[in-house]
Structure 1
Amino acid sequence: MADSIDVAVEDIYAKLIAILPPEATDEAFLRRAHVSITGQLPSSQEASQFLGDVTPNKRDLLIDRLVESPQAADHLFQNFAGMLRLRDEALGASQRPFHDWMRDSLRKNMPYDEMVHRMLTATGTLAADPAVGWLLAAEGRPVPAAVDTCHVWLGYDLQCAMCHDHPFADSTQKELYQITAYFAGLRTVQKTPDGKEHEFHGDGPSFASAVPAITEGRLVRLRLPSDYKYRDGNPMEPVKPVLPRLGGGGSSKTWEPASPYAPLKRTSEYPVPKDFQESLAHWVTVENADRFSHMIAGRLWVGMLGEGESFPLHATDLREPLDTPRLEDLVSLMDIGYSGTRRWQCLAGPTRRMRSVGTRGDSLEKEQLTHPVMLALATVMRNVSYDLREFQRVIWRTRVAQRQAMDPFDFGAIGRTKPTALADTSASPYLRRMSADQLWDALISLAGENTTEKKSSEMPLILPDGHPLRELGRSTHGWSDDSHASIGPAVARWMMHSPLVVAAASPGSRVMKEMNRASDPDARIRQAFLAILSRNPTTRELERARELYGSTEMDTPSVDSMLVWTLINTSEFLFLH
């Protein structure tokens, strides 16, 4: 299956007579795979063993070990937390049971479509069914729940439709309310110790000692807003539940399920929908399997590749052909709210761009899914029956994943004559900075017992302003996928003066304890390079470091500290190559 992805990418390069990047060194691949899959640096022992291994398939064996590890599932959860905008509390109650259920589901490798189906159909309390946390997070607000459902899992942005019809796309306010009507049979309640249920509608008092729950009540007629001004409805008019047929050229449906776009190897366990929640879950995961598979395949692909410059983060139009933007257009317009389809958008959120391949473009209908790389990725996702672990194994075994990282703006490596045509296709990962969580956990690992700081996965999802992880780019989950790994003076200052960096470069840290076990300066130097950069020093680097150890001005522990601090503050440590 990996070959189908490689062929799709390489055919594009061949037609454009563009040069494919060379294969990455074992050192670069080891570090990139470890950090990208598990969120952690390889230990010096792991690095030494891998680099010394002469087995021809050692990269495949490494990938197998990494994707099967619990750390890989935990790292994927952190990414999903940003995608789903998870928060630590809902209605005054901890969402920890829901988060633990998601982590456990990923560790057990629950199929992705089954996980989403569970989240959309759950009822009751967090104790009875932790998957209900997704619906509880909406806190009784059905319209935001519908917007998030369409955006996260189908890539269809209805943010504008919360207030008005989109001026250029097909999304309308009435369409949003018709989708929202599928949540009308649900009640978000707080069960107080006296046995009473208090329905919650997104406002009003919250009971601190109450247990939140989703219950199925009588069908409540959702109505259009009191200020509704369009011809297709009247203010306060009841709304009939309708789900748009995303591949049907604008027609819509009520109740009857459509055939999946592509058959799955694993037969769907879900019967024909009988209630609103089942209808919605079936619509998302089965009837729109093409769009659903593209969304998750694209997210994992970009997680492997990193970010270049290509497409908008979300879709605004279900029926508009994909208009691939030119790279120079995006570079000049990305900061002023101009859409990749050369039309103005009412952007309620940040103007981030999805990159590397058009994973979430302005249309993902089957008749417009013409990008061969995305077609190959989505097909693989469906063929592995939404097994995320197996999908990651496939994409990391591609030749794309194992090539040398490239600068997304350096077209000298691929032929300057054809930059526009290659703006949406990458034949290798992008050079990128470690994410906030990856960088933090790398330093925690190097510091060892010298720090009492917690790992990123052990911290609250939403951290206060001023926390180091926020300075390094961790998201507030105000919008999906809004974390960033920027480079600037603030990050440089933090890397130079952070107590965590100082702890890693002080006697007693894990890396310096490992250096102390070495018998001579050369071995100490190699140990530091392996632990921090996952490679051996070059001849020149070894010579320069020897000069420090041969100096009479500093003792050995001081030289150790200087070497560790210096390596941590290199761009090579910050970036994945």
Structure 2
Amino acid sequence: MKTRLCLPLACAFLVTGLQADNEVYRTWTDSQGRKLEATFRGIENGNVFLQVRNGYVYRLSLDKLSAADQQAAKTLKPEGLGIPADPNLAQAAAQIDMLVEAGLKKAGQQPNPLASDEQFIRRVFLDLAGRIPTREEALEFINDPSLSKRAKAIDRLLNSEGYTSHLFNYFADMLRMADVAQKARFYTYQDWLKEQISQNVPWNKVVHTMMTAEGKLLENGATGYLLRDAGMRLDNLSLTLSTFLGANVSCAQCHDHPFADWTQRQFYEMAAFFGATETYGAKGNAGAGMQGIRKVLASLDNKKLQQQAKNLLRVNALAVEDTSENDLKLPDDYKYSDAKPGDLVTPKLITWGDDKAKKAYQGVQTTKHDEQLRAQFSKWMTSPDNPRFAMTIANRMWKHIFGVGVKEPVTDLDDPNAAANPPLLHHLANEMVRLKFDLKQFLRVLCNTDTYQREATSHELADNTPYLFPGPILRRMTAEQAWDSCAALVVGTDVDKFKGHRGATYAKAMSIDLSGGASPDVLKEQIETAVASMRQFGGGKAEGNPKNRKKRMMNQGGEEDLTLAPPVRNGLVLARASELPQPEKDQHFLRMFGQSDRQIADSESEEGSIPQVLMLMNGEAQRVIGQNDSLVIKTAAAQATPEQQVESLYLSFFSRKPRANELATAVAGLGSGMTMRDLTWVLFNTREFIFVE
């Protein structure tokens, strides 16, 4: 733990600040008679932890305090969340709490009480790892007497496999990640993003890489972002601006924006930064060998093989390349007087307020090299000086764990002062910059706030009334959280072990040389070999057969992953949602519970429906959970008494022990013929299971 044990020990007791206006603050005195206004956060291993008004937490040796305060430290109840991971983190979290509480106070509202340990551990597992904790994980936390256990749990989950899986699910919805797009498989794009999350690459670098990526999709997964909208520069730019900058400008493609400052010409000037970017694969290096490839295709006698070879060619031609000329022009129906239809558009950046003097704009409009336009745009967009980039991802991450953004919708930040709490929104943007776009550290700060660790707000939110965050909102699990929690009930922590790694295998099987240097015979051999390899990635009857599907997933993972193949129960492949097809088939649990079809950004639904109820009551998931080989059943069955069996099931589903009346009812049920499978059905179908409390 980082501490300041010399200078702060001397200085802290000299700076008392304002007089305490809250009973949780008291005056502490050290052995030399110096005084400090602070709250008591706890005592551990002979050290006392005191938090001053600016949020910083000091760790002081107990014997440095006066005799009276040593006794007080041994008897006082700790305030707040206990001992933080480090003092700077505590200060950053406290600054957020202060802004939230100021907004609540202004509106005459009070924050919710702090959540119990049981509520906290289930919530933080779902929000950071994307699944509920197992019985053992819940008990380990609940029974831990340490005052620093919440901070330690947050750090452990942020460094878990589940963190990568869960954050990938969020970005997959945001970026419309699908297995199949442009008649090709985008596995390399998915694997690339998972690697970025796993390696904790800063968000600005992730986005910059996507915006500037070059080459074939098979060789550079980062090209997947631009290739998702291959040949549609304007649509891609519209999504880019709304996704990464919170600028809702889609209607400016056709006319001046009626509700914002954007004009149609400004939109085209922004799009011109991509005017020298080719995503069809018909020009440049990817198209150099097209003529030779077409001759080889014409020489193939088998029509089916010829069609398969054409599909193979399409996959290999899917690439991002920069040319030396910006060719973007105004549309033929352009109707404004500042330019003529068909005029070539010169790239120019949009500005907010007085941003022109900021470093993000330096040198962007003076470039004479069209092939560098994309890089210039990306440099501007992802710059810490860009007034919207940090704010947009900060607002998104806030919504990711609180359930509501400070500004809704998250795709429209045209007026940050229209947020529920503008000072909070601006502060979160500054925090994102301070943390250098480290999403893991940003979430670490948020989860260590009092605001996050308060009880969830369960009442219905009033229309047109801003939510000021007395705590997170009670919300239904996402489709992926629900599925991954079901899988964890059946196989426990093993659900995190399987990784598909389909990208590398797919690229190796499908790649052919388009450079134009290979002879026709070599090209033909490459094509025939690749076509044979295409079968493991195809559809047909094998796609729907669970045994074949499991085998295919194993093959795509590479030989080193064969021992980690996911189990299949009742036709369900029990792997993480992030490792299953993106998106799943229509009747799968994930789709029934609102998984996006990945055609529209941020389109996952958490709305309830009758099919969901039927899925919970009669679907494959509940049957698999109640089978004798399910972990939750095996663990409960191993307990000695009916009371302990019921307790085991409650801990597995809810991360808490049953209340007295619940225990009595369940034990009576087991005694009158109810089976543990019946009880899992009951618990699985409660509202408590499907909600993030």
TM bucket (normalised to shorter chain) is 0.7 to 0.9
Secondary structure of 1:120 counterpart: helix
Higher Cα Rg, which structure: 2
Matched, 1:531 2:652: yes
**More displaced 10-residue stretch of structure 1: 141-150 or 63-72:** 141-150
Residues 287 and 49 of structure 1, relative CA distance in 2, 3 Å threshold = closer
Matched, 1:428 2:471: yes
Secondary structure of 1:233 counterpart: coil
Measured in 2, the distance between the counterparts of 1:531 and 1:424 equals: 32
Supply the AA of the counterpart residue of 1:475. Answer: S
Per the alignment, residue 433 of structure 2 pairs with 382
Supply the AA of the counterpart residue of 2:582. Answer: L
**More displaced 10-residue stretch of structure 1: 105-114 or 303-312:** 303-312
Residues 447 and 197 of structure 1, relative CA distance in 2, 3 Å threshold = farther
Matched, 1:4 2:95: yes
Q: Is the 1:242–1:254 contact (alpha carbons within 8 Å) kept by the matching residues of 2?
A: no
Residues 244 and 197 of structure 1, relative CA distance in 2, 3 Å threshold = farther
1:500-519 alignment runs, 5 A limit: 500-519=621-640
1:111-190 alignment runs, 5 A limit: 111-188=202-279, 189=281
How far does residue 246 in structure 1 lie from its aligned partner after superposition?
A: 2.3
How far does residue 463 in structure 1 lie from its aligned partner after superposition?
A: 3.4
Among residues 577, 585, 595, which one is paired with 1:474 in the alignment?
595
How far does residue 477 in structure 1 lie from its aligned partner after superposition?
A: 2.1
Per the alignment, residue 213 of structure 1 pairs with 319
Alignment coverage as a number of residue pairs: 499
Measured in 2, the distance between the counterparts of 1:174 and 1:251 equals: 22
Secondary structure of 2:488 counterpart: helix
Per the alignment, residue 442 of structure 1 pairs with 485
Residues 322 and 273 of structure 1, relative CA distance in 2, 3 Å threshold = farther
Per the alignment, residue 575 of structure 1 pairs with 691
1:234-249 alignment runs, 5 A limit: 234-248=340-354
How far does residue 275 in structure 1 lie from its aligned partner after superposition?
A: 1.8
Secondary structure of 2:382 counterpart: helix
How far does residue 194 in structure 1 lie from its aligned partner after superposition?
A: 4.7
How far does residue 427 in structure 1 lie from its aligned partner after superposition?
A: 2.4
Residues 193 and 231 of structure 1, relative CA distance in 2, 3 Å threshold = closer
Per the alignment, residue 79 of structure 2 pairs with none
Supply the AA of the counterpart residue of 1:374. Answer: L
Per the alignment, residue 345 of structure 1 pairs with none
How far does residue 410 in structure 1 lie from its aligned partner after superposition?
A: 5.7
Q: Is the 1:224–1:236 contact (alpha carbons within 8 Å) kept by the matching residues of 2?
A: yes
How far does residue 11 in structure 1 lie from its aligned partner after superposition?
A: 1.4
State the Cα deviation string for residues 440-472 of structure 1 (Å, max 9, x = none): 111122234644324311222233433332221
Among residues 529, 541, 548, which one is paired with 2:669 in the alignment?
548
Measured in 2, the distance between the counterparts of 1:497 and 1:446 equals: 17
State the Cα deviation string for residues 255-299 of structure 1 (Å, max 9, x = none): 7348xxxxxxxxxxxxx9992022111110116533111111111
How far does residue 73 in structure 1 lie from its aligned partner after superposition?
A: 1.4
Secondary structure of 1:290 counterpart: coil
Per the alignment, residue 149 of structure 2 pairs with 58
Supply the AA of the counterpart residue of 1:463. Answer: E
Secondary structure of 2:453 counterpart: coil
Per the alignment, residue 362 of structure 1 pairs with none
1:41-52 alignment runs, 5 A limit: 41-52=132-143
Measured in 2, the distance between the counterparts of 1:249 and 1:447 equals: 54
How far does residue 434 in structure 1 lie from its aligned partner after superposition?
A: 0.5
Residues 252 and 165 of structure 1, relative CA distance in 2, 3 Å threshold = farther
Residues 17 and 273 of structure 1, relative CA distance in 2, 3 Å threshold = farther
How far does residue 125 in structure 1 lie from its aligned partner after superposition?
A: 1.4
Matched, 1:233 2:326: no
How far does residue 549 in structure 1 lie from its aligned partner after superposition?
A: 2.4
Measured in 2, the distance between the counterparts of 1:396 and 1:286 equals: 26
Measured in 1, the distance between the counterparts of 2:416 and 2:128 equals: 34
Residues 275 and 480 of structure 1, relative CA distance in 2, 3 Å threshold = same
Structure 2: gaps (5+ residues): 1-91, 294-308, 492-566
1:96-107 alignment runs, 5 A limit: 96-107=187-198
Measured in 1, the distance between the counterparts of 2:636 and 2:259 equals: 62
How far does residue 114 in structure 1 lie from its aligned partner after superposition?
A: 0.8
Measured in 2, the distance between the counterparts of 1:245 and 1:307 equals: 28
Residues 377 and 322 of structure 1, relative CA distance in 2, 3 Å threshold = closer
Structure number with the higher helix fraction is 2
Among residues 365, 373, 382, which one is paired with 1:276 in the alignment?
373
Q: Is the 1:224–1:237 contact (alpha carbons within 8 Å) kept by the matching residues of 2?
A: yes
Q: TM-score, length-normalised on structure 1?
A: 0.81
Supply the AA of the counterpart residue of 1:375. Answer: H
Measured in 2, the distance between the counterparts of 1:240 and 1:197 equals: 37
Per the alignment, residue 400 of structure 1 pairs with 451
Measured in 2, the distance between the counterparts of 1:175 and 1:92 equals: 33
Residues 408 and 140 of structure 1, relative CA distance in 2, 3 Å threshold = farther
How far does residue 309 in structure 1 lie from its aligned partner after superposition?
A: 9.5
Measured in 1, the distance between the counterparts of 2:398 and 2:251 equals: 28
Residues 176 and 438 of structure 1, relative CA distance in 2, 3 Å threshold = same
Q: Is the 1:444–1:453 contact (alpha carbons within 8 Å) kept by the matching residues of 2?
A: no
Secondary structure of 1:174 counterpart: helix
Residues 477 and 252 of structure 1, relative CA distance in 2, 3 Å threshold = farther
Measured in 2, the distance between the counterparts of 1:242 and 1:513 equals: 64
1:199-348 alignment runs, 5 A limit: 207-210=310-313, 211=316, 212-248=318-354, 256-257=362-363, 275-286=372-383, 288-307=385-404, 311-315=408-412, 318=414, 322-323=417-418
Measured in 2, the distance between the counterparts of 1:5 and 1:157 equals: 27
Supply the AA of the counterpart residue of 1:453. Answer: V
Residues 108 and 542 of structure 1, relative CA distance in 2, 3 Å threshold = same
**More displaced 10-residue stretch of structure 1: 174-183 or 245-254:** 245-254
Q: TM-score, length-normalised on structure 2?
A: 0.68
Q: Is the 2:112–2:470 contact (alpha carbons within 8 Å) kept by the matching residues of 1?
A: yes
Measured in 1, the distance between the counterparts of 2:667 and 2:147 equals: 34
How far does residue 321 in structure 1 lie from its aligned partner after superposition?
A: 7.2
State the Cα deviation string for residues 493-546 of structure 1 (Å, max 9, x = none): 221111111121232212111111111111111110111111111111111111
Measured in 2, the distance between the counterparts of 1:222 and 1:281 equals: 18
Measured in 2, the distance between the counterparts of 1:242 and 1:283 equals: 11
Matched, 1:373 2:424: yes
Among residues 182, 187, 210, which one is paired with 1:91 in the alignment?
182
Per the alignment, residue 129 of structure 2 pairs with 38
Measured in 1, the distance between the counterparts of 2:195 and 2:122 equals: 26
How far does residue 22 in structure 1 lie from its aligned partner after superposition?
A: 0.2
Secondary structure of 2:388 counterpart: helix
Q: Is the 1:432–1:575 contact (alpha carbons within 8 Å) kept by the matching residues of 2?
A: yes
How far does residue 388 in structure 1 lie from its aligned partner after superposition?
A: 0.8
**More displaced 10-residue stretch of structure 1: 284-293 or 211-220:** 284-293
Per the alignment, residue 566 of structure 1 pairs with 682
How far does residue 244 in structure 1 lie from its aligned partner after superposition?
A: 1.1
Measured in 2, the distance between the counterparts of 1:546 and 1:516 equals: 14
Q: Is the 2:97–2:450 contact (alpha carbons within 8 Å) kept by the matching residues of 1?
A: yes
Per the alignment, residue 544 of structure 2 pairs with none
Measured in 1, the distance between the counterparts of 2:165 and 2:146 equals: 29
Q: Is the 2:646–2:666 contact (alpha carbons within 8 Å) kept by the matching residues of 1?
A: yes
Measured in 1, the distance between the counterparts of 2:190 and 2:442 equals: 22
Residues 194 and 480 of structure 1, relative CA distance in 2, 3 Å threshold = same
Residues 46 and 442 of structure 1, relative CA distance in 2, 3 Å threshold = same
Q: Is the 1:244–1:253 contact (alpha carbons within 8 Å) kept by the matching residues of 2?
A: no
Supply the AA of the counterpart residue of 1:170. Answer: D
